[in-house]
Structure formats: C-alpha cells, structure tokens
Structure 1
Amino acid sequence: MDFYLILFFLFSGIFLGWKVNKDNYFLKLSDKITKLGLVILLAAMGADLGSNEEIYRQLGRIGLQALLFAIFTIVFSVMLIYFFAKLIAGNSFNSDFKKHPDTQKNESNMTFLIFISVISGIIIGRFWLGEDFYSFLAPIINYSLALLLFGVGVDIGASREILEDLKLLGWKILAIPLLIAIGTLIGSVLIGVLLGFAVGESAAVGSGFGWYSLSGVLISNLHGAELGSLAFLTNVFRELLTVILIPIVAKYFGSLAAIAPGGATTMDVTLPLIKEAGGESVVIPAFISGAVLSTLVPILVPFFLGF
C-alpha cells in the first residue's frame, strides 16, 4: 500500500478516536471489526504466499538457508530491543510497557487465531484457488489493511494515556529501528558466514528487513539471481514468522520487543498485529520503526553488495 494512504487511514482513525467519547458504542464495534479484518488480512496474505509458485520453486534448493537467515535476524533483533528496554531505558520503563492491559489478555487465543488464519490461507492458496481468483488477492489485502489501519488509529485516538506512554520513550524512539537494524545485520552476517557466504552478501540479504519484494529485486539486479532468490525467500520467511511470533514475543519479552521481528513491515502489514499483542502504546514506535527501516532498505542493500 502507498505510504500516503497508510498515513491517511491511520491518522483519520486517530482523529476520529480522539473526537468520540471513550464509552461510545462505535469504539467497541471498531474493535470487533479490527479483529475480523485481521483474520481476513492474514488469510489473504497466506493465500497470496500459497499461490506463489516462485516460492515453491526455491524451497527445495535454498529453503533451509533462507529459514535460518530469517530466524537469526529475528532472534538478534528481539534480543537487542529486549535489553534496550530492560537495561538502557530502565526497569520502570520496561515494566510500564510490558504490563499494558492489552498485552496480557488472550495471548494464547491470539496466537492460535493468527496461526490458523495464515496456515488456512496458505493451504487454500496452494490447493483450491483458481487462477481467476489470484487477481483479487492484492485488493483484498489492501482493503483489509486499510480497514485495520483505520481501526488501529481509532484505538490510538481513544487512548488518552498514549501520550504519557510516548513521553517515556522520548528520543529513544529513534533507537528502536537502529537496534533492530543492528540486530538483523549481526544475525544475518553470523549465519551467512557459517553457511559460507561473504560478509557483504550476508548483510545484504538481511538488509531487506522483511521487505521481500524490493530486496529480492535489488539483489538480483545488482549481484545475481541466486542471492536475490535467497533474499526474497529469507524476507518472506521473516514476515511469515513475524505474524506467528508477535504474540509470543510480546508475552515473554515485552511489548517493545514485539516490534523487532517485523522489521520494515511494522509500518503497514504487521502493525495491527503489534497493536493487538502489545497495546496502543507501541503502535507509534512500531510505525516509526517500520518507516525508518523501509527507507534504509534501498540504501543498505547496494552498500553491502559493494563490499
């Protein structure tokens, strides 16, 4: 979805949520609509992945390598944000975010709902969708994402205490994407070297930050189809693992750490998931982090390939 449309739907929701009374029935209805839209979005994303023949062609050859790259980038990103929240920002800071009421409720139900939605979508896309239906997947994803971003915005606007939560972060809000980028690069270089890749190649693969369409094309054009395919599949896996892991990370490592797995996708596709798992207080940090990391992708990928 276009960046300006993302801003429009998100901030339109924030404005409306700020204007209506907190006990307004519309707010309760919007929460139900958001959850329904989330299921539709995840199922459509799964169907889109399931119908993508390029992914299946690459799975047998580089699937395990790509999965390891994705796992390492997520693990090191989560570790850095967790220690940032706990040690650098202070225990009280971490506690305030971790104990947000939205973070503690229905974690197991949320994880189950996410997993079933995505897996069902993949199965349907792989085995049951006809070719005529593929053209409808992109609009379904875009419309459901627009609905979700609007709903997330409404919840943010209605939560008056969110400004106090953001004051806890201050300048540290910019440290979040920086640490996610560093964690991603550490993880990708470490596993890349172990698998026999050069440092620059490994860093370039990780520098997609979950934005598989752009990173795969960039690396294919600048380096070669094989490494481009690895980058594409790595970042597909990162997005898929992020969707499943966000509630688990929020539960055990805190709400701020839930931002880390998504990388660049936290400004759009995974933003509603982060809100559901971590609460409204982490939505703005997640959005800013995703925007920064998305900007870094076309800069860092060519940079590391030049090594």
Structure 2
Amino acid sequence: MDFYLILFFLFSGIFLGWKINKDNYFLKLSDKITKLGLVILLAAMGADLGSNEEIFRQLGQIGLQALLFAIFTIIFSVLLLYFFAKLILVKGLTSGTKKQVDNPEGGGNITFLIFFSVIMGIIIGRFWLQAEFHSILAPLINYSLALLLFGVGVDIGASREILADLKVLGWKILAIPFLIAVGTLIGSVLIGFLLGFAVGESAAVGSGFGWYSLSGVLISNLHGPELGSLAFLTNVFRELLTVILIPVIAKYMGGLAAIAPGGATTMDVTLPLIKEAGGEAVVIPAFISGAVLSTLVPILVPFFLNL
C-alpha cells in the first residue's frame, strides 16, 4: 500500500478516536471489526504466499539457509530491543500488555488465531485457490489493511495515556529502528559467516528488514539471482515468522520488543498485529520504526554489496 494512503487511514482513525467519547459503542464495535479484518488479512497474505510458485521452487535449494537467516535476524533484533526496553523502563512497554497479564488465555487465543489464519491461508493458496481468483488477493490485502489501520488509529486516538508514554520515550523513539537494524545485521552476518557467505553479502540479505519484494529485486540486479533469491526467501520467512511470534514476544518480553521481528513491515502489514498483542502504546513507535527501516532498505542494500 502507498505510504500516503497508510498515513491517511491511520491518522483519520486517530482523529476520530480522539473526538469520540471513550465509552462510545463504536469503539467496542471497531475492536471486533479489527479482529475480523485481521483474520481476513492474514488468511489473504497466507494464500498469496501459498500460491507463489517462485517461493516453492526456491524452498528446496535455499530454504534452510533462508530460514536460518530469518531466525538469526529476528533473535538478535529482539534481544537488543528487549534490553533497551528494560533499560529505559517505560511502563506498559517493558512488560506484557494488561489484557495478557489479567487474562493469560487471551495471549494464547490471539496466537492460535494468527497461526491458524496464516496456515489455512497458505494451504488454500497452495492447493485450492484457482488461478482466476489469485488476482483478487492483492486488493483484498489492501482493503483489509486499510480497515485495520483505520481501526488501529481509532484505538490510538481514544487512548490518551499514549501521549505520556511517547513523552517518556522522546528522542529514544529513534533508537528503536537503529537497534533493530543493528541486531538484524549482527544476526545476518553471524549466520552468513557460519554458512560461508561474505560479510557484505550477508549484511545485504539482512538489510531487507522483511521487505522481501524490494530487497530481492535489488540484490538480484546488483549482485546476482542466487543471492537475490536468498534475500527474497529470507525476508518472506521473516514476515511469516513475525506474524506467528509477535503475540509470544509481546507476552513474555514486552510490547516494545514485539516491534523488532517485523522490521520494515511494522509500518503497515504487521502494525495491526503489534497493536493487538502489544497494546496501543507501542503502535506509534512501531510505525515510526517501520518507516525508518523501509527508508534504509534501498540505501543499505547497495552499500553492503559494494563493500
């Protein structure tokens, strides 16, 4: 989705949420609509991945390498952000959300819902989706994402305490994408070294930050199709693992740490997931982080390939 459309839907929701009363029935209704939209979005994303023949062709050749790259980038970015959150001690961002603490089953339910939606989507896309219906997946993803971003914005606008959390973070909010980028690069270079890749190649693969379409094309054009395919599949796996892991990380390591796995995707696709699992307080930091990391992708990928 276009960046300006993302801003429009998100901030339109924030404005509406700010204007209406916190006890308004619309807020309760929007939460239910958001959850329904989340299921539709995840199922459509899964179907889109499942119907992508290129992904399945590459799985046999570089699937394990790509999975390891994705796992290492997530682990190190999460750890760096987790310890940063503990250091700054921001209430509501350094621990699990209130909903998860008060109702342990809630975290498990959202995790199951996310996992089930994605897996069912992949199965449907792989085995049952007819070719003539594939063209509707992209609009379905965009429309459901627009609805979700609007709903997320409404929740943010209705939660006045978010401003207090943002004031505590201050300039440190920019440290979030920096730490995610550093953790990603450490993880990708480390696993790349173990797998026999050059430092520049490994760093370039990690510098996709989950934006698989752009990073795969850039690396294919600037280096070669083999490394480009690895980058593409690595960042596909990163997005897929992010969808599954966000609720778990938010529950056990805090809402702020849950921003880390998504990388560039926290600006759009994974933003509603972060809100559901980590609470409204982490939505603005997640959005800013995703925007910064998305900007860095076309800068860092060529830079590391020229090392």
Q: Is the 8 A contact 2:238 2:261 kept in 1?
A: yes
Letter in 2 for 1:219: I
Q: Deviations over 1:228-266 (max 9, x none)?
A: 000000000000000000000001111100000000000
What is the distance in 2 between the residues matched to 1:269 and 1:96?
21
| Aligned position for 1:182 | 182
| Aligned position for 2:78 | 78
| Aligned position for 1:101 | 98
What is the distance in 1 between the residues matched to 2:293 and 2:142?
21
| Aligned position for 1:24 | 24
| Aligned position for 1:159 | 159
Q: Deviations over 1:136-156 (max 9, x none)?
A: 000000000000000000000
Q: Is the 8 A contact 1:50 1:124 kept in 2?
A: yes
Q: Is the 8 A contact 2:96 2:252 kept in 1?
A: no
**1:94 shift after superposition:** 5.3
**1:100 shift after superposition:** 3.7
Q: Deviations over 1:156-177 (max 9, x none)?
A: 0001111011112111100000
Structure 1 segments unaligned to the other structure (5+ residues):
none
What is the distance in 2 between the residues matched to 1:127 and 1:100?
37
| Aligned position for 1:273 | 273
| Aligned position for 1:49 | 49
Using the TM superposition, name which of 162-171 and 292-301 deviates more.
162-171
What is the distance in 2 between the residues matched to 1:48 and 1:110?
22
Q: How does 1:1-307 map to 2 (within 5 A)?
A: 1-87=1-87, 89-90=88-89, 93=90, 97-104=94-101, 105=103, 106-307=106-307
What is the distance in 1 between the residues matched to 2:168 and 2:36?
32
RMSD of aligned alpha carbons: 1.0
**1:102 shift after superposition:** 3.8
| 2:208 aligned counterpart, secondary structure | coil
**1:211 shift after superposition:** 0.1
Letter in 2 for 1:26: F
What is the distance in 2 between the residues matched to 1:280 and 1:302?
35
Q: Is the 8 A contact 1:80 1:180 kept in 2?
A: yes
**Percent identity of the aligned residues?**
85
What is the distance in 1 between the residues matched to 2:157 and 2:290?
20
| 1:209 aligned counterpart, secondary structure | coil
**1:97 shift after superposition:** 4.3
Structure 2 segments unaligned to the other structure (5+ residues):
none
Letter in 1 for 2:112: F
Letter in 1 for 2:189: V
For the structure 1 residues 78 and 258, does the alpha-carbon distance in structure 2 shift closer, same or farther, using more than 3 Å as the test? Answer: same
Relative to the length of structure 2, the TM-score reads 0.97
| 1:98 aligned counterpart, secondary structure | coil
Q: Is the 8 A contact 1:211 1:264 kept in 2?
A: yes
Letter in 1 for 2:150: F
What is the distance in 1 between the residues matched to 2:149 and 2:100?
19
What is the distance in 1 between the residues matched to 2:271 and 2:27?
19
Letter in 2 for 1:15: F
**1:34 shift after superposition:** 0.1
For the structure 1 residues 261 and 184, does the alpha-carbon distance in structure 2 shift closer, same or farther, using more than 3 Å as the test? Answer: same
Q: Is the 8 A contact 1:102 1:276 kept in 2?
A: no
Q: Is the 8 A contact 2:85 2:94 kept in 1?
A: no
